[in-house]
Structure 1
Amino acid sequence: MSSTEGLKSRSKALKPLVTARISKSEEKKSMMEEFEPLSPASRLYHERSNNCVIIVIIGSKMKIDPIVFKAGIEKSLVKHSNSRFSCIQVMDKGGNINLVQTKVDLENHVYVPDLDPNMDSPDQFVEDYISNLSKTSIDMSKPLWELYILNVKTAEADALVVFKIHHSIGDGLSISSLLFACARKISDPDQLPTLPFQKISPKKSQFNWWWIFAKIWMAFLWFWNTFVDVWMSTAVIMYLKDVHTPLKGAPGVEFRQKRFVHRTVSLDDVKLVKNSMNATINDVIVGVSTAALSRYLNRRYGDGEDGTDTKINNLPKNIRITASIPVNIRGTAEIRKFAEMMENDETGIKLSNRNGYVLFPFDIALQDNPLDYVHHAKSVIDRKKQSFGPICAFLSSMLIIKFFGYKVAVALFERVFAHITVIFSNVAGPLEEISMFGYPITYIAPSVYGHPEALTLHFQSYANKMTVVLGVDEETIPDPHQLCDDIEKSLKLIKEAVISRQ
Structure 2
Amino acid sequence: MEEEEPVSPTGQYLSSSVLNVTVLAVFETLMPIDDSQSTTALESIFLPINPRFSSIMVTDEHGVRKWKKVEVKLEDHLKVPVFPPGLELYDEYLQDYITKISMEPLPFSRPLWDVNVIKYPTSTAAGTLIFRLHHALGDGYSLMAALFSCLKRIDDPSLPLTFPSSKPRRGWDSFLGFAQEISYACVNTIRDFGWSLMKSSVMEDSVSAIRSGVPFVESRPINLSYFELSLDDIKTIKKKVDGTVNDVLAGMIFHGLNLYMEEVMDPCNDATKITALVLLNTRAIRTYQNMLEMRSPNSNARWGNHFAFIHIPIPKCDKKNSKVDPLEFILKVKKLIKSKKSSFGIYLSGAFLEIIRKFRGPEVASGYMLKTLTNSSLAISNMIGPMEEVEMVGHPVSGFHFMMVRAPQSLTITIVSYNGKVRLAIGAEKDFIDSPLLVSCMKKSFSELYETAASETENRVNGHEHAKQNMIASKAFHTET
Whether TM exceeds 0.5 here: the answer is: yes
Residue 198 of structure 1 corresponds to: 166
Match of 1:136 among 83, 104, 107: 104
Q: Distance in 1 between matches of 2:387 and 2:30?
A: 18
Residue 315 of structure 2 corresponds to: 363
Give the 3-state SS of the residue equivalent to 2:46 in structure 1: coil
Matched ranges for 1:390-429 at <5 A: 390-429=346-385
**Residues 203 and 327 of structure 1: CA distance in aligned 2, closer, same or farther (over 3 Å):** closer
Residue 497 of structure 1 corresponds to: 452
CA contact (8 A) 1:90 1:98 kept: yes
> Quick one: which amino acid aligns to residue 356 of structure 1?
A
Is 1:448 aligned to 2:416, yes or no?
Answer: no
Q: Distance in 1 between matches of 2:18 and 2:237?
A: 39
Residue 323 of structure 1 corresponds to: 276
**Residues 123 and 103 of structure 1: CA distance in aligned 2, closer, same or farther (over 3 Å):** same
Matched ranges for 1:14-413 at <5 A: 29-30=1-2, 33=3, 35-79=4-48, 82-116=50-84, 118-119=86-87, 121-200=89-168, 211-249=174-212, 250-301=214-265, 314-332=267-285, 334-338=287-291, 351-365=303-317, 368-413=324-369
Q: Which moved more, 1:442-451 or 1:396-405?
A: 396-405
CA contact (8 A) 2:403 2:414 kept: yes
CA contact (8 A) 2:293 2:302 kept: no
Q: Give the CA deviation at 1:412.
A: 2.1
Number of aligned residues:
450
Q: Which moved more, 1:466-475 or 1:364-373?
A: 364-373
CA contact (8 A) 2:103 2:406 kept: no
CA contact (8 A) 2:383 2:416 kept: yes
User: Residue by residue, what CA displacement relative to the aligned partner does 1:329-381 show, whole Å, maximum 9, x if unpaired?
Assistant: 12236544216779x9xx99863111111001111325721111111111111
Give the 3-state SS of the residue equivalent to 1:320 in structure 2: coil
Give the 3-state SS of the residue equivalent to 2:309 in structure 1: strand
**Residues 201 and 265 of structure 1: CA distance in aligned 2, closer, same or farther (over 3 Å):** closer
CA contact (8 A) 2:221 2:429 kept: yes
Q: CA RMSD in A?
A: 2.4
Q: Distance in 1 between matches of 2:59 and 2:249?
A: 41
Q: Distance in 1 between matches of 2:336 and 2:172?
A: 27
**Residues 203 and 426 of structure 1: CA distance in aligned 2, closer, same or farther (over 3 Å):** closer
Residue 437 of structure 2 corresponds to: 482
Give the 3-state SS of the residue equivalent to 1:495 in structure 2: helix
Give the 3-state SS of the residue equivalent to 2:304 in structure 1: coil
CA contact (8 A) 1:327 1:358 kept: yes
CA contact (8 A) 1:337 1:348 kept: no
Give the 3-state SS of the residue equivalent to 1:113 in structure 2: coil
Q: Distance in 2 between matches of 1:405 and 1:341?
A: 28
Q: Distance in 2 between matches of 1:139 and 1:214?
A: 52
Q: Give the CA deviation at 1:278.
A: 1.2
Q: Distance in 2 between matches of 1:377 and 1:334?
A: 24
CA contact (8 A) 2:228 2:421 kept: yes
CA contact (8 A) 1:49 1:451 kept: no
Match of 1:431 among 387, 392, 402: 387
Residue 9 of structure 1 corresponds to: none
Q: Distance in 1 between matches of 2:89 and 2:121?
A: 10
Larger Rg: 2
Q: Give the CA deviation at 1:133.
A: 0.5
User: Residue by residue, what CA displacement relative to the aligned partner does 1:38-87 show, whole Å, maximum 9, x if unpaired?
Assistant: 1111001112332000011110111111133432322222126x421111
Q: Give the CA deviation at 1:432.
A: 1.5
**Residues 319 and 73 of structure 1: CA distance in aligned 2, closer, same or farther (over 3 Å):** same
Is 1:470 aligned to 2:426, yes or no?
Answer: yes
Give the 3-state SS of the residue equivalent to 1:134 in structure 2: helix
> Quick one: which amino acid aligns to residue 386 of structure 1?
S
> Quick one: which amino acid aligns to residue 96 of structure 2?
D
Q: Give the CA deviation at 1:227.
A: 1.5
User: Residue by residue, what CA displacement relative to the aligned partner does 1:445-465 show, whole Å, maximum 9, x if unpaired?
Assistant: 100112210100111111111
User: Residue by residue, what CA displacement relative to the aligned partner does 1:283-336 show, whole Å, maximum 9, x if unpaired?
Assistant: 01111011110011111126xxxxxxxxxxx54433221011111112236544
CA contact (8 A) 1:177 1:334 kept: no
Q: Give the CA deviation at 1:420.
A: 1.0
Residue 478 of structure 2 corresponds to: none
Give the 3-state SS of the residue equivalent to 1:217 in structure 2: helix
> Quick one: which amino acid aligns to residue 71 of structure 2?
K
Q: Normalising by structure 2, what TM-score? A: 0.88
**Residues 203 and 453 of structure 1: CA distance in aligned 2, closer, same or farther (over 3 Å):** closer
